[in-house]
Amino acid sequence: MTFDVLPPKDAFTRIASSLCVPDPGQDAERTVAFVCQVIRRAALAVAPCGRSTLETVAVEALRGFWPDRATLTSMVEQATEELLAYGDLLEMQVPVEGSGRASFVMRAAPPHHVMRGADSCVILGLGNEEITPLPTSTLSRVRHVGALRFLDGDGASDLSTFLAENGFPALDQRGWLRLPRAETPEAFIRVWWDKLAAQDRSGEIDGLRVISVESSVRYYKGRWVQPARLSGRFVARRPQAYGADLWCIVELDGGRPVRLLDVTSAGDLRRPSDIAWRIQMAQDALAGRRQVFRVARNDDTTFVEFLSPLPSWARRRLLVSGSEAQRPRCLMAFATRPDELPNVLDFLKNCLWLEETTH
């Protein structure tokens, strides 16, 4: 048996080809698509597993191509978050034997598709042995845009029927979006504050971080602070022995935790981060300092730009009306069809309690 020794660039190109994505070169969006395919491949090999295990496998597979391991790790973590947000991967609670607690396990979602109009869809989930187990002629038409896989019809057959016959059943938009009911920020946050008030008194919590209500809503990273001498109720994160920090809400008195509640939903219908971000949106709205978004226009395209994270169901809703976009001076952005903009603005203002800004 003989082996060829390839330069890193040639090896990278071959790996991209084997994953059915183009060589990303210096293109940021294609790089995300490439990393997402590596994570999907890793999920086929090791899931179900903890999130840190999956991310470590992906990082180890790619570390020979990235000189900076910290940059690569951050990229893999962000790509994993994207795959969770759109539904390629699922994060589910499982009980930890003898502890009375639950941990989170990553699983690949089963193959399915969501239509985006009459003849275009999003491909989601993984096969048992292949990432996208479709005929070769169909695979060549799959477009990888960031963390998403799009497929347009060929005009010769009904796209949804064809996919269902090939192992990718349809998931209706309502089931995919899983939008919460519309309600006021007061009504939404009251439920969570009541749950927090019902908890037993808490002791000290090492490593606790909270989102400051007084901080600027325009710089999300800068909102995270140590409890210090803060008093009141806050969205927070606390470390655990294994895995990512847990999302929670906490009542503080002079910086000392009084009560704490980990935020989860029955049946894992809502991701903890999604719940926490919406609680923060409600709290900011009630404090008279709503989180903001911008609308920008460029030729025939309208962009909606965000300065804070969005729940995964909100991102899916925006995807129905357009596509993710790379834009400067924002945390994330979506290109939206002009005719859909009024519906998008109504959704952002009434479901997320955001307000539009011009700067």
Residue 102 is assigned to a structural domain of this protein: no
Looking at the structure, do residues 66 and 137 belong to the same domain, yes or no? no
Residue 259 is assigned to a structural domain of this protein: yes
Candidates 228, 293, 285; CA nearest to 254 is 228
Structure tokens at 162: 């064809």
Calpha distance 194→279 (Å, rounded): 13
Domain end residue (candidates: 284, 309, 335): 284
Residue 144 is assigned to a structural domain of this protein: yes
Q: In what order do the strands lie in the sheet with 224-225?
A: 224-225, 209-211, 232-238, 246-253, 256-262
Looking at the structure, do residues 231 and 305 belong to the same domain, yes or no? no
Looking at the structure, do residues 139 and 87 belong to the same domain, yes or no? no
Looking at the structure, do residues 161 and 204 belong to the same domain, yes or no? no
Structure tokens at 203: 């002791």
Calpha distance 312→26 (Å, rounded): 27
Looking at the structure, do residues 26 and 56 belong to the same domain, yes or no? yes
How crowded is residue 351: how many other Cβ atoms within 10 Å of its Cβ? 20
Count of domains observed in the chain: 4
Looking at the structure, do residues 116 and 153 belong to the same domain, yes or no? yes
Looking at the structure, do residues 63 and 116 belong to the same domain, yes or no? no
Residue 19 is assigned to a structural domain of this protein: yes
According to DSSP, the β-strands at 355-357 and 292-298 are parallel
Residue 278 is assigned to a structural domain of this protein: yes
Looking at the structure, do residues 172 and 233 belong to the same domain, yes or no? no
pLDDT tens-digit series, residues 105-161:
999 999 999 998 788 899 999 999 999 999 999 999 999 998 999 999 987 789 999
CA distances from 110 to 22, 113, 121, 161, 302 (A): 25, 10, 16, 17, 33
Domain end residue (candidates: 28, 62, 92): 92
Residue 2 is assigned to a structural domain of this protein: no
- 67: Cα within 13 Å, side-chain hemisphere: 0
> Residue 257's domain spans which residues?
185-284
Domain end residue (candidates: 284, 305, 323): 284
pLDDT for 178: 87
Looking at the structure, do residues 13 and 88 belong to the same domain, yes or no? yes
- Please, are residues 142 and 40 in contact by the beta-carbon 8 Å criterion? no
Looking at the structure, do residues 172 and 190 belong to the same domain, yes or no? no
pLDDT for 326: 86
Task: Map residue 107 onto helix, strand or coil.
Answer: strand
Looking at the structure, do residues 206 and 229 belong to the same domain, yes or no? yes
Q: How far is CA 318 from the centre of its chain?
A: 13
- Please, are residues 150 and 122 in contact by the beta-carbon 8 Å criterion? yes
Residue 72 is assigned to a structural domain of this protein: yes
Q: Which residues contact 150 (CB under 8 A, 6 or more apart)?
A: 116, 120, 121, 122, 123, 142, 143
Looking at the structure, do residues 265 and 243 belong to the same domain, yes or no? yes
In 185-245, the DSSP E strands lie at: 209-211, 224-225, 232-238
Residues of the chain with pLDDT under 70: 1, 95-102, 267-269
pLDDT for 96: 64
Q: What single DSSP character describes residue 140?
A: T
Q: Which residues contact 194 (CB under 8 A, 6 or more apart)?
A: none
Calpha distance 157→55 (Å, rounded): 38
Candidates 129, 145, 49; CA nearest to 89 is 49
Residue 121 is assigned to a structural domain of this protein: yes
Structure tokens at 70: 């910290």
